Amino acid sequence: MCDTIVALGSVTADGVTLFGKNSDREPNEAHHVVRIPRAQHAPGERVKCTYIEIAQVAETYAVLLAKPFWIWGAEMGANEFGVAIGNEAVFTKIPYAKTPGLIGMDLLRLALERAQTARAALDVITNLLAQYGQGGNCGFKHATYYHNSFLIADPREAWVLETAGPHWAAERVRDIRSISNGLAIGGEWDLASPDLVNYAVQRGWCQGRADFHFARCYADPLYTRFSRCNERQCRTTDALAAQRGKITVETMMRALRDHGDDDEWSPARGVTTFNVCAHASFGPIRASQTTGSMISYLALERQTHFVTGTSAPCTSIFKPVWLDTDVPDTGPAPDGTHDHKTLFWRHERLHRATLHDHATRHALYRAERDALEREFVAGALDCASAPPEARRAYSAQCFARADAAEAEWLERVLQTAPRRPRGRLHQRAWNAFDRDAQMPKHK
């Protein structure tokens, strides 16, 4: 389960398009942020995606990927031309291909490597869908199959692309847009696959174009309902709409950290509750959580990206990176077990200790987190036009300061006893997650 948001320059505070996404995956499915430079490729060369090889293009563009560690593609990313994409799992009536193929995250990376605009990225994805289809397991420890939707943005425009097997519809974004884990395009669209309506008519999902509604015809109602996508999409849409004309990077951060309006909110409550800032718990519906987040400031001249590289944006710090400089060293590539040398797993000690009593322990460092981020954002935007070496140094400084702050917060959290019971089922779930990840003991 994930959420992706965009606000075009017409509704932001400074006229710059803003893009953001939470990547929701299994709790131990470590998130990895990598930069891959532009590359030239020989004629006839092929590229190995997560499962299959396809023909490579002559040149691939530099990309920033925020990805599950084991997958070739990514759940979100951007390229050197300012194209940013996030993908969402969607559940449809079309059978899922379980044989190895291109998965949605592969399609996302391929589009970033091959397209200079959002519209071109849409074409890359739909052309690959027509040629290869989509299919294959997308789960880490638990096999998961689904189709995909995409929110694709660049400094000038944005598109929503929703797929159901080889079928698809696309809609150009007018000002703000949010997508979640359900089809949302209805009876109107800007682009679509040629047989979109006819296929639905042949299966009795509608009588013709007059009563055709893409989401109503193609969506699997049961899985879509239990994903709670409508609630989350409304939350993020409302958060952006309330700040129309005043939307900033901080607005995007607040939207991605949303836990709802309940002042007594706890991640231990409920077996079907799924917030924008998602926290895993007991049961199959809450088997995933936000393992990484990204916000992109898509200025025309140079884009600035803010990544957590760590789980649960409420406990994480967004840090700046650029496409023409290296990502700061975050340690060896993480995997599914704890390794203190990696950024993701170092943060997990703070994240998981906070979960023992989120309300009490999160309050110990939330204000400092916000102040540090405000400083990072202001500094990053101020130096966006500085030489690459200056920005590289600033990015590294932000990562180092965030790491030090989290170490200090962890000590503070561990010294503060939980005041609220964690909940038996919630504790049981996290005991299992911790055991599987070989996490150090924490209280």
Instruction: Give the active site residues.
Output: 2
Give the span between the Cα atoms of 57 and 256, in whole angstroms: 35
Residue with tokens 């503060």: 416
Residues in contact with 382: Cβ distance below 8 Å, sequence separation at least 6, in sequence order:
none
Burial track 191-214 (b if 16+ CB lie within 10 A, e otherwise): bbbeebbebbbeeebbeeeeebbb
Question: What is the full DSSP assignment across 168-203?
Answer: EEEEE-SSEEEE-SS----S--SEE-TTHHHHHHHT
Q: Which residue, among 106, 11, 55, 14, has the nearest Cα to 299 in the 3D structure?
A: 14
CA distance between the termini of the chain: 28
Residue 373 buriedness (CB in 10 A; 0-12 / 13-18 / 19+): buried
Q: At 143, which amino acid appears?
A: A
